[in-house]
Amino acid sequence: MTPDFITPVLDYLLLAPFLIVLGAACVGILVEAFVPRGGRFYTQVVVSVLGLVSALGVILWRWGSDGQGLIDPWKDNIVTGTLIIDGPAQVFWTIIFGFGLIAVISFAERRVHAGATAFTPTAAAIPGSKAESEAAQAGLIHSEIFPLALFSMAGMAMLVSANDLLMLFLGLEILSLPLYVMVGMSRHRRLVSQEAALKYFLLGAAASAIFLFGVAFLFGYSGSFAYDRLVETITFTSGGEGLLLGGIGLIGVGLLFKIGAVPFHSWVPDVYQGAPTPVTAFMSICTKAAAVGGFLRLFYVALGGFRWTWQPIFAGVAILTIFVGAIIAINQKDIKRVLAYSAITHAGFILVPLVGASTMDTGLIDGQAGSVASIMFYLVAYGFAAIGAFSIVSLVRKQGHEITDLSAWAGVGKRNPFVSVLFVIFLLSMAGIPLTAGFVGKFAAFAAAWQGGFAWLALAAILGAIIAVYIYIRVIQVMFFTEPDEGADEVELAVPGVATWIVLTVCMLGTIGLGLVPGPLLELLQNASAFIIPAK
Amino acid sequence: MAFPFLTVLGLIPLVFAVIVALSKPRAGRSIGFVGSLLTAGYAFALIAYFKMGVLSFGESVPWLPSLGSSFSLDLDGMGLVMVAITVFLVPAVLLAEWKTGVGAVGRFSSKTFVALVLLVQSFSLFTFMSFDLLVFYVFFEATLIPMYFLIGGWGGQRRGKAAAKFLIFGLAGGLIMLVGVIGTWVLTAATSAPSLGFLDLAAQDFGASPTTKLIFICFFVAFALKAPMVPGHIWLPDAASESTPGGAALMVGILDKLGTFGMIRVCIGIFPGESAWATPVILILAVISILYGAFAAIGSKNLMRLIAYTSISHFGFMVMGIFALTSQSLSGSIFYMVNHALATGALYLVIGFLITKRGSAFVDDFGGVVKIAPIAAGFTLVAGLASVALPGTAPFVSEFMAIAGTWTRYPWIAGIAVLGTVLAAVYILWTYQRIMTGPVTEATQTHITSDLSWRERLALIPLVIAILVLGFWPQPVLDEVAPTTAYYMSAASATDPGAEIEEGR
């Protein structure tokens, strides 16, 4: 007997932001096919900016309970049962699309590259070949980067609102596949870029496989992919903890890989260094936010009842991540690698409140910032600093090429004080110095961990932060107080175009503004930090 | 809401810093100097109105409600005298460093120097005025960044390294304090009225537990690194000697006071029980600082380092007076914070003028200066004797009070500390003898050709006048400080031993 086919009823308005981004990506592909070459680039910019702006508009328009939903999901509404749009999902969508928008604007920078973009004229040509130089001379531009980024963002959005292990996996893959391509598209040092792409792809594929294996374990444990079944099984059933533990471990590996936590971090420095700098900026915040969002929902909602088991494991990972990242960063000679290791350290700092799990369920007093809100704030603060810093990295050039050797940066601060001061502000925010957003992020994050009962973890994290401070001081020291070597005259700061100016202005206002007046945002995030927990 | 007078006070130098940074190099420093005078005028007018009872301070707006923090500013007696000395010292520093960075190739310009000084001033004013632990922390930390650039941008050969050392020590201390701030928040968050306001925290009783002890230690370590106490002092001599004299005066005169200020505000005010618990160790460290600083100063060949070491010794007196916790010693320590800024500030500036003329900071490179530059020598002598705490100068009153107050409770500690005053005479007078008296050396002859200019004299005169006036008539400051002292004495539930001991004025 065949079961009746139930027509899924979709709440399109609820899904609108996600669908708009996905739709804009599809339009982008059509643009590649039908718009003549000359107008393609700007058409793509317009399409993606419009798509992201309208998606953000819809989220903000329907902010709060209006835009949240889970409408009787298990009877007649399959899709909202697998995707949940609740407060945290709305926040993470805003973070992903918002910072994605900033990154996409930085993709459009052409003045710095003398009319070209940061991306290779033709990705298919062999590096250094005749075909490549011909393409460069013909002024070809890969405008596919825009739809790729949009697809990636759609995957991220799916990841953070997945309420089902399979949706989680789908989101992870949709976000990863376009990124593998984007990483390999750098205009400068193409071999390094391609190597990074290959490395990212191979390791990412392995991580995905491990993740999927973990999904199978959890399916075996609970008999379903749905989070609510997991909750139910953990609460009411005993036995099968081996499967549960194995599943948690394997899924954890897959997500920690994307977050860039130690010991699954080895791709981060190579990929951050090899990828085109705007793509690095995009990855540093959007990928991280998405993975953290998915991680939060999975571990707080589905596996929240098993907290006592996973907290110590991830506490260890957090400490390892902070210290390994900070200590290795000190010795790096390439600014992009410095920032990459600093990104690893930040992943560790984000894990600290995550482990603390200070939420309403664990006795957080109403009106105080708990783990979820502080993680969100941290991500926003880090996002502004990271995108801003990477945008400035792409301005430092030697003979028309981006130069990322730290030694070439000597004395840049004296020659270009304005942009250098901006860079210092971004670095200080990453270091968590007061009057920047980064400080409030660190304060809220560590306080949440301590309130959740992990005082020792907060202490260790602050110890790590002391080491990490040195990373940034070292860069500032080089920029301002190191005498440049021979040939440093050739190093120059390119005059930023409109796109970069927009990015820098937004990032600076965000960093300083949230440092001075953090209250409203933190409160907003706090009110949006409750996960909808589907209950039967 | 009433007009935010105090916020405006902190904002004036900040706004001027921005204007200076955006203006033309030549105009910049004049604008900055006017800004510092305006700040001083505004501050003293505020204080005058306040004294007349026309105004009341105290403003508070929610800043980070979910973390219990309000942007609340207020002035008690201690805050008021520190604000006064800050706005008093900064114009002198700017005037003294008028030529810093002018025409220097490959260095930072003079307007940047002025803008950074004003930033330091703004942030320190906010720190002295803040009545919320988180706001206090924020500005306490924020002062480090402009100071870092002040050290690294202008000064000696190894200024880059010294600046980095300063910043690393500062930020490490700051992050250690962050543990304390977060811990305090966690404690207060569990109560019925979570708040990081100083007064609210003082009213709450957290009990004694390993956690409160840990929090106290974090705060104390951070403040001890700031008001450099042995063994946390090692950054100061480098930072001071590689900095410009004006920068050093600002750093030692104002910024390091944040350490002793914090000890009173936070350690005594919020964690009195833990303070009492740690007092024996702290007093011993203070005495070690007094003696170590004095001996190191005697052995120091570099004048800038010498003054830095004398400051370590003086900070020892302040810390001793604070933790001896008698109303006399506490008042003395607060008063000493003002006097030390005046005396050491003046000493740094005048010695700085000589170093600039001579082109060297080493004691041995001078000799017989008094014959060529008698006015410079005179100023050096006054500032130096103030540093020795000679009767008639303001530091005498405060040092005496700190020691006498300590004597009533810990005679042994006070007895050893007195040695520090004897050693002070050695390091100042011996140094004066070596650089000023004796036959005029060849090096002095070639390099020091003129006495202090009018600009240089103008920078020093207000400081010297203040030293002498407060030396003979300390009552206004002491009266101002008395309520603060009484408040902290009662916060720590401390009473003076033997009330019959008369006030040592």
For residue range B456-479, list pLDDT tens digits in order.
Answer: 899 999 999 999 999 999 998 999
Substitution target from B61, B63, B66 for chain A, most A beta carbons within 10 A: B66
**Could you report the per-residue pLDDT of B19-69, keeping only the tens digit for each?**
998 888 778 888 999 999 999 999 999 988 888 876 677 888 889 888 889
pLDDT attached to residue A70: 54
pLDDT attached to residue A81: 65
In chain B, % helix, strand, coil (3-state, to 5) comes to 75, 5, 20
Name the residue of chain B whose CA is nearest to A415's CA. B106
Q: Which residues of B touch A352 (CB under 8 A)?
A: none
Q: pLDDT band at residue A425, thresholds of 50, 70 and 90? A: very high
Substitution target from A349, A462, A483 for chain B, most B beta carbons within 10 A: A462
3-state secondary structure of A490: helix
- Give the ranges where B327-474 is alpha helix by DSSP (H): 327-358, 369-372, 374-388, 394-409, 411-436, 442-447, 454-472
Name the residue of chain A whose CA is nearest to B151's CA. A481
- CA–CA separation, A437 vs A426, rounded Å? 9
Give how far the C-alpha of residue A247 lies from the chain's centroid of Cα atoms, to the nearest Å.
Answer: 24
CB A142 within 8 A of CB A149: no
Q: pLDDT band at residue B499, thresholds of 50, 70 and 90? A: low
| Residue A43 clears pLDDT 60, i.e. is over it | yes
CB A526 within 8 A of CB A447: no
Q: What percent of chain B is modeled with pLDDT above 70? A: 96
**Could you report the per-residue pLDDT of B368-408, keeping only the tens digit for each?**
888 888 899 999 999 999 998 889 899 999 999 999 999 99
**CB neighbours (10 Å) of residue A188?**
18
Contact between B168 and A458 using a beta-carbon 8 Å cutoff: no
In chain A, % helix, strand, coil (3-state, to 5) comes to 75, 5, 25
Its sign, for the CA torsion B428, B430, B431, B433, is positive
Please name every residue paired with A327 in a beta bridge, in sequence order, or none if there are none. Answer: none
Q: Which residues of A touch B167 (CB under 8 A)?
A: 473
pLDDT attached to residue B230: 85
Half-sphere exposure of B60 (CA within 13 A, CB side): 16
Q: And the tokens for A177? A: 């596949």
Name the residue of chain A whose CA is nearest to B22's CA. A418
Residues whose CB is less than 8 angstroms from the CB of residue A529 and which lie 6 or more positions away in sequence, other chains included: A87, A88, A91, A359, A370, A372, A373, A376
Query: What are the residue ranges spanned by the domains of chain A?
Result: 12-527
3-state secondary structure of A6: coil
Region A319-341: what's the mean pLDDT? 94
pLDDT attached to residue A227: 85
Contact between A447 and B137 using a beta-carbon 8 Å cutoff: no
**Could you report the per-residue pLDDT of A145-201, keeping only the tens digit for each?**
999 999 999 999 999 988 889 889 999 999 999 999 999 988 888 889 999 999 999
- CA–CA separation, B38 vs B60, rounded Å? 25
Contact between B152 and A481 using a beta-carbon 8 Å cutoff: yes
- CA–CA separation, B197 vs A272, rounded Å? 43
pLDDT attached to residue A14: 84
Can you spell out the DSSP letters for B175-221? HHHHHHHHHHHHHHHTSSS---BHHHHHH------HHHHHHHHHHHH
Tell me the pLDDT of chain A averaged across its residues. Answer: 88
Greatest Cα-to-Cα distance within chain B, rounded to the nearest angstrom: 73
Substitution target from A359, A443, A456, A475 for chain B, most B beta carbons within 10 A: A443
pLDDT attached to residue A487: 64
- CA–CA separation, B26 vs B244, rounded Å? 20
Residues whose CB is less than 8 angstroms from the CB of residue A123 and which lie 6 or more positions away in sequence, other chains included: A142, A181, A184, A185
Q: Which residues of chain B are at the A interface, by a Cβ-Cβ cutoff of 8 Å?
A: 62-68, 106, 108, 112, 134, 137-139, 141-142, 144-145, 149, 152-153, 159-160, 163-164, 167-168, 171-172, 175-176, 178-179, 181-183, 185-186, 189, 194, 211
| Residue A382 clears pLDDT 70, i.e. is over it | yes
- CA–CA separation, A436 vs A422, rounded Å? 12
pLDDT attached to residue B192: 82
Q: Given the structure tokens 């020691």, which residue do they identify?
A: B403
Region B90-106: what's the mean pLDDT? 79
| Identity of residue B154 | W
Nearest-CB residue to B175 (from A466, A473, A519): A466
Region A338-349: what's the mean pLDDT? 95
Name the residue of chain A whose CA is nearest to B144's CA. A433
pLDDT attached to residue A536: 47
What single DSSP character describes residue B62? E
- CA–CA separation, A339 vs B369, rounded Å? 53
| Residue A389 clears pLDDT 90, i.e. is over it | yes
Q: pLDDT band at residue B449, thresholds of 50, 70 and 90? A: confident
Can you spell out the DSSP letters for A371-437? HHHHHHHHHHHHHHHHHHHHHHHTTEEETTEE--BGGGGTTHHHHSHHHHHHHHHHHHHHHT-TTSH
Nearest-CB residue to B189 (from A368, A480, A517): A368
Nearest-CB residue to B168 (from A473, A519, A526): A473
Contact between B189 and A451 using a beta-carbon 8 Å cutoff: yes
3-state secondary structure of A262: coil
Region A128-153: what's the mean pLDDT? 87
pLDDT attached to residue B494: 81
Instruction: Report the predicted TM-score, pTM, of the whole model to 2 decimal places.
Output: 0.93
**Could you report the per-residue pLDDT of A444-456, keeping only the tens digit for each?**
999 999 999 899 9
Q: Phi and psi of A69, rounded to 5°? A: -175, 155
CB A534 within 8 A of CB A70: yes
Name the residue of chain A whose CA is nearest to B68's CA. A368
pLDDT attached to residue B498: 65
Q: And the tokens for B496? A: 């003076």
CB A414 within 8 A of CB B108: yes
pLDDT attached to residue B306: 93
Vertex A88 angle, CA A83 and A90, to 5°: 70
Tell me the pLDDT of chain B averaged across its residues. Answer: 89
3-state secondary structure of A227: helix
Contact between A481 and B167 using a beta-carbon 8 Å cutoff: no
With b for 16 or more beta-carbon neighbours within 10 A and e for fewer, the B25-40 pattern comes to: eeebbebbbebbeebb
- CA–CA separation, A425 vs B351, rounded Å? 35
| Identity of residue B299 | G
pLDDT attached to residue A74: 46
What single DSSP character describes residue A305? G
- Expressed in angstroms, the distance from the first to the final Cα of chain A is 28
- CA–CA separation, B120 vs B142, rounded Å? 8
Calculate how close chain A gets to B423, using CA atoms only, in Å.
37
Region B306-311: what's the mean pLDDT? 94
**Could you report the per-residue pLDDT of A462-494, keeping only the tens digit for each?**
999 999 999 999 999 988 888 777 666 677 788
Substitution target from B175, B188, B215 for chain A, most A beta carbons within 10 A: B175
- CA–CA separation, A347 vs A287, rounded Å? 11
**Per mean pLDDT, which range of A330-334, A357-361, B62-66, B270-274 is the poorest?**
A357-361
| Residue B504 clears pLDDT 60, i.e. is over it | no
**Could you report the per-residue pLDDT of B226-241, keeping only the tens digit for each?**
988 888 888 999 998 8
| Residue A414 clears pLDDT 90, i.e. is over it | no
Contact between B182 and A458 using a beta-carbon 8 Å cutoff: yes
Q: pLDDT band at residue A390, thresholds of 50, 70 and 90? A: very high
